[in-house]
Amino acid sequence: MRIGEVATTLGVPVHALHHWDALGVVVPDRTGAGHRTYTDEHLVRLRILLSCREVGMSLAEIRLVLHRDEAGRAAVLRQRLDHVREQRRRLDRAQAFLEHVVGCRHDLVSRCPDCAAYASA
Each residue's pLDDT, cut to its tens digit, for the chain (121 residues) gives: 999 999 999 999 999 999 999 999 999 999 999 999 999 999 999 999 999 999 889 998 999 888 888 788 889 889 989 999 999 999 999 998 888 888 888 887 778 888 777 777 6
DSSP state of 107: S
Do residues 45 and 29 lie in contact, with contact meaning Cβ atoms separated by under 8 Å?
A: no
Please compute, for residue 67, the number of CA atoms within 13 A of its CA located in the half-sphere on the CB side. 15
Using the 8-state DSSP alphabet, how is residue 30 labeled?
Answer: E
Range 3-66 classified under CATH 1.10.1660.10: yes
